[in-house]
Amino acid sequence: MRSRNLHVYMSHATRLIRQLGLVRQLALYLTSAKLYQSKKEDSHTTFSSQMARLKLSTATWVVTTITLLLNVFVYFYPNIVNAPHQCRWHNTPVHSKYSFINKYLPVAPWLETVLLNFPSLQEPKTRKAYENGRVSDINMLTFGDPQINGNWASTPYLKRLDNYGNDYYLGHIYNTMKNRLKPSHVAVMGDQFSLQWIHDSEFYNRTLRFVERLFPRDPEYKENVLEIWRKHQDYDWIAWLSRETQIDPQDRYNSRSYRDVYDWYFPEEHQPNFENPLFINLTGNHDVGYSGDATWQHMARFHLLFGQNNYVINYNEGTPEAWRLVVLDSLSLEGPALQEEFRDYTWSFLENLKKSNDDFKGSTILLTHIPFYKKAGLCADGPEHIYYENYEKEPYKNGKLRSHNHLLYETTQQVLDIVFPNADKEGIILTGHDHVGCNTWYGHHDGEWVASGEKEASDRKHVREVVVRAMMGEFDGQTGLVTGQFDYAENAWKFEFTYCSFVIQHVWWASKVALLLTVLLQSLNFLL
């Protein structure tokens, strides 16, 4: 019995041992499987990580390439978007300050393009009014209707960002063209702002943006703006009104008649200033209002921060190369006006200018905001005058001029007769207001000025009118280039005008967003 039990025990023990072996084998198998799975998972994780890094790297370099292309386009757009002659002064060669580059210019004209796009390589322009017995060219940049918006407490943050970007978009255009071409004059054709019905405080804010972001100037040229902005006090327009109304008409004209001015800050420097060109700001309807809206407050603060609304600068007086620059407030030419004094002052200015014509034998460049009369169909805007009628909000304005696209026919005839007195001399008019832009020629027939789309028969030299296309993004960020060159064979000034186009502002925005993405992605690649 005992032997039998022993046998049973041995049998159970053997079976147990076998079972334990199986368990061990199973354990070993499971351990191996687990190790394999772990290695597999590690391998998969490594692979996934590598793929993620590869995708990030690929995305980084795709975005970097796009950023590079966009920014090359944005900074070299004058020669990418435009024909070669459009973004340079007419018939004006470019030279380098390095003689070895100049040696190759005759056989490699593309070098001029390089010099234009890298202004630091250019030969500095002489500041002499005369050189080698010849008068300096007139090189003027013109910018139509920037119309910058304001930021209010209720303005959404996205709109504020858009306004911020728009400022620098316009500023990029100005800086590019100024550095590229070194103009002698710069003119903003009115409508600096989008709205005239703003308090002095907001007027100061926008003016600061104007001189800091859109048209940046050296410190001395914007010190007045900065000082007024820091104080941020309402301007005493009543005191200004009192002073203006007491000025004798002849004294007013004399104080607005200048000679050989190229620099407002240093008026005694009668030489072109290419580093800080003479800056001219015209009155626009969104700056001071149409005559039926314009108040003493509007006009006072414009004078305070942007300068006079009517003046003349005579250049090269008493010489065959004489010419003049006339700045005219066309918003104050017609009425009925809210303040008839403004009309009186403007017409008084013109009458005194007429008296000076006896001694003036040169050509005229006229700068004003409202285009002159021309028949419908020649420009996007046809002739139109609108007057206040049944205006319950401000009934004292009823009957007064509310808006106009062109000057009246009679006004046009009178002004052109006064401003362009010399039949043997060409002239040019530069206006704003019509954002689309327009180009016409005024000929003279039987005592009448008539506009047409091209030069037609005339009993005197033509006067060209260019309605400068707006520089706003939706109008492709235009810069108007005016070149005046004295033709010694004909003993007269010749004027040329061309546009240098940028692109819609979205492209500029895309270049900046792409740059931020590139910095972010490149940083992630570096850290990982």
Weakest-pLDDT range from 39-48, 82-91, 284-293, 437-446: 39-48
- Proportion of the chain above pLDDT 70, given as a percent: 91
Tokens of 145: 């209707």
Residue 347 has pLDDT above 70, yes or no: yes
Residue 39 has pLDDT above 70, yes or no: no
Residue 526, pLDDT score: 84
Give the pLDDT confidence of 438-477 residue by residue, as tens digits. 999 999 999 999 999 999 999 999 999 999 999 999 999 9
Greater model confidence, 28 or 180? 180
Chain centroid to Cα 286, Å, comes to 17
Give the pLDDT confidence of 377-417 residue by residue, as tens digits. 999 999 999 999 999 999 999 999 999 999 999 999 999 99
Residue 80 has pLDDT above 80, yes or no: yes
**What is the chain's percent helix, strand, coil content, to nearest 5?**
45, 15, 40
DSSP-derived secondary structure letter, 220: H
For residue 445, list its beta bridge partners: 448
Chain centroid to Cα 246, Å, comes to 38
| Mean pLDDT, range 153-174, rounded to an integer | 95
| Mean pLDDT, range 254-266, rounded to an integer | 96
Count of helices and strands (H, E) across the chain: 13, 17
**What is the chain's mean pLDDT, rounded?**
92
| Mean pLDDT, range 2-23, rounded to an integer | 49
Residue 15, pLDDT score: 59
pTM over 0.85: yes
Give the pLDDT confidence of 165-179 residue by residue, as tens digits. 999 999 999 999 999
Chain centroid to Cα 10, Å, comes to 104
Give the number of other CB atoms < 10 A from CB of residue 249. Answer: 14
Weakest-pLDDT range from 43-52, 173-182, 227-236, 486-495: 43-52
Residue 38, pLDDT score: 56
Give the pLDDT confidence of 286-320 residue by residue, as tens digits. 999 999 999 999 999 999 999 999 999 999 999 99
Residue 50, pLDDT score: 78
Integer CA distances (angstroms), 389 to 210, 338, 342, 392, 398, in order: 35, 14, 22, 9, 5
Greater model confidence, 87 or 2? 87
First to last CA, the chain: 77
Give the pLDDT confidence of 316-336 residue by residue, as tens digits. 999 999 999 999 999 999 999
Residue 236 has pLDDT above 90, yes or no: yes
Residue 212 has pLDDT above 50, yes or no: yes
| Mean pLDDT, range 269-283, rounded to an integer | 96
Directed axis angle between helix 110-117 and helix 157-181, to 10°?
130
Q: Which residue has the tokens 């940046």?
A: 216
Give the pLDDT confidence of 139-148 residue by residue, as tens digits. 999 999 999 9
Residue 9 has pLDDT above 50, yes or no: no
Greater model confidence, 109 or 322? 322
